[in-house]
C-alpha cells in the first residue's frame, strides 16, 4: 500500500485496528464501510464537495451495465504490462475503474473528494484502500506509487510527480473530440469540441508521453441508461431544463463514445526546475462536477 500521510501534519499514518494514527496523535477512524476520511474541514471549498449521491448512483448503475466496458478493457491492457506494486487512482469516484485496476497491481488506493462516492466504492470493493481526500494535497508520501490513474478529473501535476517513484507512470483518460456528440447536440445550441491536446504542454516539464490511444465505440442507449448518463455528467445541469426534460422523456438515443488514453512516464527533475514549473491544476474533461480539488 502507498504510504499514507496525515493531512494535518504530513507525518505517516499507521493503522491500529479501526483507527489511522500519526506520531503526533492525530487520528482518523475507519468508517463502517471501510474508508478513511482524510479531508480536513480547512481543505474543503464547500460543506459537501464533489459529486452528490444522485450523480454517484447514476454513474455506478451506468457503468455496471457495461456501457463503457471497452474503455475498462483498454485501461487494463495499458496498466497490466507495467506491473505496478502500488497504484493510486485520483478522482476514483464510485470505484468502477479502480476496483478492476486493483487486479493488475499488488496494492491499490482510490481517493476522491466526494464522500458519497468513496463510501459506495468501499462497499463494493473491500480489497482497496479508500480515502476521502484532495488531489491538490494528496495524503500520500513522496515516491511511494508506481502508477497514478487520472480518469476524467482534474490533474494536479506537481502532486502526481511528487508521489510517483522514479520511472513511475501516469495513465490519463480524457474525452476525445466526438465524444457523445449527438447527445450534446440535443442539449446545447453550440458545441465546444473536447480537446485532449490542450493540457499536453503542461505535462512536458515533468512527464514524457510514452503512448497514446484513441478509442471509439457506438452507444445505443435506451432508458434507463440514457437517464443515468444525463445524471452522471455535468452536461445535463449545464443545459436548458426543457432540453434535458425532452431527452429524459425520450425512449433512447444513438450516440458514440470517444476517448483519448495517454500514458506518461515521470521525468527526474533538478530541484530548481521543479520549482519553476506551474502548480496550477489541469482539467482533462468536463465529467466531474467539482473534481478532486
Helix, strand, coil percentages, rounded to 5, for the chain: 35, 30, 35
Any known ligand binding at 68? yes
Give the position of cell 466504492.
Answer: 121
Of 91, 137, 100, 141, the residue nearest 118 (C-alpha):
91
CA distance 210 to 286: 24
Our measurement of the distance from residue 88's CA atom to the centroid of its chain's CA atoms, rounded to an integer in Å, reads 10
Any known ligand binding at 125? no
The strand pairing partners of 265, in sequence order, are 169, 208
Torsion of CA 138, 58, 100, 102, to 10 degrees: 30
Any known ligand binding at 96? no
CA distance 53 to 86: 29
Any known ligand binding at 97? no
Any known ligand binding at 92? no
Alpha-carbon distances, residue 265 vs 82, 188, 214 (angstroms)? 11, 37, 19
Q: Indicate the annotated binding residues for Zn(2+).
A: 6, 9, 22, 26
Q: Indicate the annotated binding residues.
A: 6, 9, 22, 26, 68, 94-95, 179
Q: Indicate the annotated binding residues for S-adenosyl-L-methionine.
A: 68, 94-95, 179
Amino acid at each position: 500500500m502507498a504510504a499514507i500521510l496525515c493531512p494535518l501534519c504530513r507525518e505517516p499514518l499507521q493503522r491500529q485496528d479501526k483507527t489511522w494514527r500519526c506520531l503526533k496523535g492525530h487520528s482518523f477512524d475507519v468508517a463502517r464501510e471501510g474508508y478513511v476520511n482524510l479531508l480536513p474541514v480547512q481543505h474543503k471549498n464547500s460543506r459537501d464537495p464533489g459529486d452528490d449521491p444522485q450523480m454517484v448512483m447514476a454513474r455506478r448503475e451506468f457503468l455496471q451495465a457495461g456501457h463503457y466496458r471497452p474503455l475498462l478493457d483498454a485501461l487494463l491492457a495499458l496498466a497490466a504490462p507495467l506491473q505496478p506494486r502500488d497504484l493510486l487512482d485520483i478522482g476514483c469516484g464510485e470505484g468502477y475503474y479502480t476496483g478492476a485496476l486493483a487486479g493488475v497491481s499488488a496494492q491499490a488506493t482510490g481517493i476522491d473528494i466526494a464522500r458519497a462516492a468513496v463510501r459506495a466504492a468501499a462497499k463494493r470493493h473491500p480489497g482497496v484502500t479508500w480515502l476521502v481526500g484532495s488531489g491538490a494535497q494528496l495524503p500520500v508520501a513522496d515516491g511511494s506509487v508506481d502508477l497514478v490513474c487520472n480518469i476524467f478529473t482534474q490533474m494536479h501535476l506537481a502532486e502526481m510527480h511528487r508521489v510517483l517513484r522514479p520511472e513511475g507512470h501516469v495513465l490519463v483518460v480524457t474525452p476525445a473530440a466526438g465524444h457523445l456528440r449527438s447527445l450534446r447536440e440535443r442539449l446545447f445550441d453550440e458545441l465546444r469540441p473536447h480537446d485532449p491536446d490542450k493540457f499536453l504542454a503542461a505535462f512536458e516539464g515533468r512527464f514524457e508521453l510514452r503512448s497514446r490511444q484513441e478509442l471509439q465505440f457506438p452507444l445505443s442507449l435506451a432508458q434507463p441508461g440514457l437517464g443515468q448518463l444525463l445524471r452522471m455528467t455535468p452536461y445535463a445541469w449545464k443545459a436548458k431544463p426543457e432540453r434535458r426534460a425532452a431527452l429524459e422523456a425520450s425512449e433512447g438515443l444513438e450516440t458514440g463514445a470517444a476517448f483519448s488514453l495517454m500514458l506518461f512516464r515521470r521525468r527526474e527533475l533538478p530541484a530548481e526546475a521543479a520549482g519553476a514549473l506551474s502548480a496550477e491544476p489541469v482539467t482533462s474533461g468536463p465529467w466531474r462536477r467539482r473534481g478532486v480539488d
